A = this chain, B = another copy of it.
Amino acid sequence: MVSKNQIKLIRQLEQKKFRRRDGLFVAEGPKVVGDLLRAGFQPTAVYATEEWGGAEAVFSAGDSNVSDSIMLVGDDELRKLSFLQHPQQVLALVPIPESTREVSVHGLCLALDGVQDPGNLGTIIRIADWFGISTIFCSEGTADAWNPKVVQATMGSIARVNIIYTNLARLIDSAQVPVYGTLLDGEDIYTQPLSSEGLIVMGNEGNGISPDIRSRITHRLLIPTFHTGDTAESLNVAIATAITCSEFRRRNRH
């Protein structure tokens, strides 16, 4: 039986200030919760219906920290907790990873400068996972990665990608690596040299990369359009990220 107070505490986690206060985020569904458990995340609470096959897996793995935290709930109860239109068997409260590790750039990393839409951020985290980019640096103005909408949009990839909120200008100034950005006056991404190390900066949905960061870009790239008319089009930031990451990886295969 889930108490009214528990419901309130969970529902509050939709807001960033409460996630920060409690150090927790909400993950839902067998795929996302399963990926987090496999990656070693230790939820403080797991609310699951009988359908959820994951409970058995957790018990048989003998992880008593996690198995102690599992609470069986009914479909009606899960519906009261869930942020989803169609709740999916399990909801977990998961500690937000602390970013105590040294902030430095290894290999190829993404830097998000004010990406605002939770769906875009979640999709970008999923793209990074696919292309083996293990760290995403986010400006403070970027959407919060532990927003339930972002967590769900990552389809579990949030379990495998480090998300670090930091001052991007300071990071770039200290990192001494190539800094790539897609800009309207950039050079054709398909023919420019692309390194296997460095930062790929992606900007805000409406305004692109901020002037402060734009001035620090060392390699200006352009994804050329193949449209022949005179009407202005644009690419969504997640789409541009996918094309850019694909091209970097294609060019630096082993």
Contacts and interface: CB of A to CB of B under 8 A. Distances in A.
Interface of A: 35, 38-39, 119, 123, 126-127, 129-132, 155-157, 159-160, 190, 223, 225-229, 231, 233-236, 238-239, 242-243, 246-247, 249-250, 253
Contacts of A131: 225-227
B130 A228 contact: no
A233 B156 contact: yes
Count chain B CB atoms within 10 A of each CB in A226, A227, A234 and give the residue with the most.
A226
Contact of A239 (B39, B233, B238, B249): B238
Nearest to A228: B132
Count chain B CB atoms within 10 A of each CB in A131, A228, A238, A242 and give the residue with the most.
A242
A130 B38 CA distance: 39
Contacts of A243: 242-243, 246
Contacts of A190: 250, 253
A130 B226 CA distance: 6
B132 A35 contact: no
B123 A236 contact: yes
A253 B132 CA distance: 28
